[in-house]
Amino acid sequence: MKILVPVKRVVDYNVKVRVKSDGTGVDIANVKMSMNPFDEIAVEEAVRLKEAGVATEVVAVSAGVAGCQETLRTAMAIGADRGILVETDAELQPLAVAKLLKALVDKEQPRVVILGKQAIDDDANQTGQMLAALLDWPQATFASKVVIAGDRATVTREVDGGLETLEIPLPAVITTDLRLNEPRYATLPNIMKAKKKPLDTVKPADFGVDVAPRLKTLKVAEPAKRQAGVKVADVADLVAKLKNEAKVI
């Protein structure tokens, strides 16, 4: 069984991002980039499935600039067998990525696609769902446990009220939540081997996919700074302020 793992290159979670002065976006020039942490969990899960003998091959895929090769190498250092980069400098929105992934699925014919539930840069939380729709496959999102047996996957999902367990037939799309697993630290021999694993580069045009953005970003702004608070004399004062000034009760 082949597993496809889409990984996104994002601003490293340690970086404190800055909004560009013209308000068109976040300044990512000269900023440390790394793999979206949710996708790292997806790679780890796929590699564990391979180590458990459930999967036979793990293919990491990414879409974006040439620098995404590093992200794919990271996935291969964790244990993915090979990588495919759909290289483009264009802005990629979730629908475009989902279309590219569908084309890759058509080509690679995996039984399962595992990807992060969302990326920490845009927090869209759409790609997995859109991909499932385009493929007309079942989907199990926000997975905190995945068991694959035969032609079915049993997936425990993190939902608002607690946990929900779904059983879905394969092929299917699974998106990962934080508690699914704790990704390993890549070993030095595997980092070195990753460099020698195959990495193919293709272009969106090779699949005939139009990646032009459908949404327009109007403005990106920093959250408003927190205002200084005021001291209240007693509970009555607090209640009065909440009622009359804040008007929340």
Binding site for another protein (CB under 8 A): 14, 29-30, 32, 34, 70, 73-74, 77, 185-192, 194-195
Phi and psi angles of residue 49, each rounded to the nearest 5 degrees, phi first:
-65, -35
Closest by Cα among 164, 162, 101 to 137: 101
In whole angstroms, how close is the CB of 91 to another protein at the nearest point? Answer: 20
Measured CA to CA, the distance from residue 12 to residue 30 in angstroms comes to: 12
Classify strands 2-6 and 9-11 as parallel, antiparallel or unpaired.
unpaired
Instruction: Pick the closer one to another protein by CB: 77 or 115.
Output: 77
In whole angstroms, how close is the CB of 77 to another protein at the nearest point? Answer: 7
Instruction: Pick the closer one to another protein by CB: 188 or 235.
Output: 188
In whole angstroms, how close is the CB of 244 to another protein at the nearest point? Answer: 29
Measured CA to CA, the distance from residue 3 to residue 56 in angstroms comes to: 8
Instruction: Pick the closer one to another protein by CB: 33 or 124.
Output: 33
**How many Å is the Cα radius of gyration of the chain?**
21
Residues 51, 58: contact at Cβ < 8 Å? no
In whole angstroms, how close is the CB of 158 to another protein at the nearest point? Answer: 24
In whole angstroms, how close is the CB of 185 to another protein at the nearest point? Answer: 5
Instruction: Pick the closer one to another protein by CB: 175 or 181.
Output: 181
Angle value at C-alpha 6, between 18 and 88, nearest 5 degrees: 65
Angle value at C-alpha 241, between 237 and 245, nearest 5 degrees: 160
Instruction: Pick the closer one to another protein by CB: 77 or 119.
Output: 77
